[in-house]
Chains A and B, each alone.
Chain A
Amino acid sequence: MPVESPPDDPWSNMMRAAIAGDEGVYRRLLEEIGRSVRVMARAVFARARLGDADVEDSVQETLLAIHLKRHTWDPGQKLAPWVNAVARHKIIDSMRRRGVRRAENIEDFEDFLAAPAEEDPHALSDAKRLMEALTPRQRDIVRSISLDGQSIAATAARLMMTEVAVRVALHRALKSMGAAWRRSVS
């Protein structure tokens, strides 16, 4: 029995569409979540006197965790509290790696949803450096789809692979990047 989502809860519907395979909706959802996570990360980093240098890194690591763990979201529940829990976990984690001991009191994510923040165009993240942990083929695929903005089909044609093989390689690459992020210490 599907649970009706309230009208003020567009994220849950977007995630359901994404899980069903709607790439465009998924991209929009991740952009929106990213803007809210950015506000949260900035506030938390500022309070710990860490500066903004690693905010974008934290945002991307959170988005990757959301991506890799989205099967732990119960589609009968709202998405925002789940996103909140993942974001807290990853932001606290990334602060611990930067030597901050007490990072537990992160206030409710809902406060940040109201004031989304755009990406700092000069911000850099570790993602590019983490790509060095990938195999050459995986690195080529990730770079093609992210930095070069190519589609799966175009990437597959260029590398003379099937689209399924490209998707599998991309998924493995994202998983390896998640593991590399956890190990990384700035």
Chain B
Amino acid sequence: MKTSEFIAALAADPVPEPVDLGRRFAAASALGLIGALALYALFVGPRPDFAEAARTARFNLKFLDALALALPSLMLLVRLARPDAKPGVLGLWLLAPLVLLAFAVSVELAVTPSGAWMARLIGENWMYCTTMIPMMAAPILAALILAVRAGAPRSPAGSGALAGAASAGIAAFLYASHCPDDSPLFVATWYPLATLICAAVGALAGRRFLAW
């Protein structure tokens, strides 16, 4: 087929589908969050001493860290849904959760005796942490991938990994209220592992479903 003939077919279809990327992301996030909350209610739930824990810095830091991961990765995901977009300063914000964790770990190492380090790192619930976070992240990841399909990300695998990281951040925020382990040594070991699992699954899903 000649290109001029091919263009005739394209030009006969001139009005694009009304796609509002921002709105799609908002809807996807809400939908994914509902799925994650349902899983939370069914299988996870808050820890019994939630009210007392909420008065400690270690406990609250877990939520801050989850937000520091979820917000920049979600915003970057939205931005990179356009093919001509560049990460810009937002890309650097992805380091925020790591910086926060590194700071918290160094404080923890300074204030706790070295004999307690290993016990705090292993904690009580690491298996739970690395399975429950990806489980609650799954519906969020699926909804985000569906939303990005309307876009045209320059790197499908990269955007998929970002969607995975964002979903892990939101899931970690929920999971933090359940987990009895509050030491930054624990959080800096197992939460990033759970995030990596989600990002890897997201990258594979992105390669498969976000190619355009």
Contact B1 A128 (CB under 8 A): yes
* Cβ contact of A167, chosen from B1, B3, B12, cutoff 8 A: B12
Contact B14 A18 (CB under 8 A): yes
Contact A81 B84 (CB under 8 A): yes
Contact A60 B211 (CB under 8 A): no
* Residues of chain A with a CB closer than 8 A to B211's CB: 182
Q: Which of A24, A30, A121 has the most CB of B within 10 A?
A: A30
Q: Which of B14, B150, B154, B211 has the most CB of A within 10 A?
A: B14
Binds B, one of A3-11, A45-53, A144-152: A144-152
Q: How large is the interface on A (under 10, 10 to 19, 20 to 34, 35 or more residues)?
A: 35 or more
Nearest Cβ in chain A — how far from B99, in angstroms? 31
Cβ of A102 within 8 Å of any chain B Cβ, yes or no, is no
- Per-residue CB contact flags for chain B residues 46-71 toward chain A (1 = under 8 Å, else 0) read 00000000000000000000000000
* Cβ contact of A72, chosen from B9, B12, B14, B152, cutoff 8 A: B152
CA distance A170 to B10 in the complex (A): 9
CA distance A84 to B151 in the complex (A): 16
Cβ of A63 within 8 Å of any chain B Cβ, yes or no, is yes
* Cβ contact of A119, chosen from B4, B13, B14, B83, cutoff 8 A: B4
Contact A63 B7 (CB under 8 A): yes
* Residues of chain A with a CB closer than 8 A to B81's CB: 72
* Residues of chain B with a CB closer than 8 A to A34's CB: 3, 7
Give residues of chain B (1-28) contacting chain A, Cβ–Cβ below 8 Å. 1-19, 21
* Residues of chain A with a CB closer than 8 A to B16's CB: 19, 70-71
Main secondary structure on B side of the interface with A:
loop
Contact B83 A82 (CB under 8 A): yes
- Per-residue CB contact flags for chain A residues 48-77 toward chain B (1 = under 8 Å, else 0) read 000000001001100111011111111001
Q: Given A31-B4, A84-B84, A85-B84, is A170 in contact with B154 using a C-beta cutoff of 8 Å?
A: no
* Residues of chain A with a CB closer than 8 A to B4's CB: 31, 119
* Cβ contact of B3, chosen from A22, A63, A86, cutoff 8 A: A63
CA distance A143 to B19 in the complex (A): 28
Cβ of B128 within 8 Å of any chain A Cβ, yes or no, is no
Contact B84 A63 (CB under 8 A): no
Contact B6 A125 (CB under 8 A): yes
Cβ of B212 within 8 Å of any chain A Cβ, yes or no, is yes
Contact A26 B11 (CB under 8 A): yes
* Interface residue tally for chain B (C-beta within 8 Å): 30
CA distance A20 to B18 in the complex (A): 11
Cβ of B120 within 8 Å of any chain A Cβ, yes or no, is no
Contact B13 A170 (CB under 8 A): yes
Cβ of B82 within 8 Å of any chain A Cβ, yes or no, is yes
Give residues of chain B (83-125) contacting chain A, Cβ–Cβ below 8 Å. 83-84
Contact A125 B83 (CB under 8 A): no
Contact A145 B8 (CB under 8 A): yes
Nearest Cβ in chain A — how far from B147, in angstroms? 13
Give residues of chain A (156-186) contacting chain B, Cβ–Cβ below 8 Å. 167, 170-171, 174, 178, 182
* Cβ contact of B82, chosen from A31, A64, A72, cutoff 8 A: A72
Nearest Cβ in chain B — how far from A167, in angstroms? 6
Cβ of A127 within 8 Å of any chain B Cβ, yes or no, is yes
* Residues of chain A with a CB closer than 8 A to B19's CB: 71-72
Give residues of chain A (10-53) contacting chain B, Cβ–Cβ below 8 Å. 18-24, 26-27, 30-31, 34
Cβ of A142 within 8 Å of any chain B Cβ, yes or no, is yes
Closest A-B pairs by Cβ, 8 of them: A27-B11, A85-B84, A85-B83, A127-B1, A146-B9, A71-B19, A69-B152, A146-B5
Given A73-B82, A127-B6, A146-B5, 12 additional A-B pairs, CB 8 A: A19-B15, A26-B14, A67-B10, A68-B212, A72-B152, A82-B84, A119-B4, A128-B1, A142-B9, A145-B12, A147-B1, A149-B5
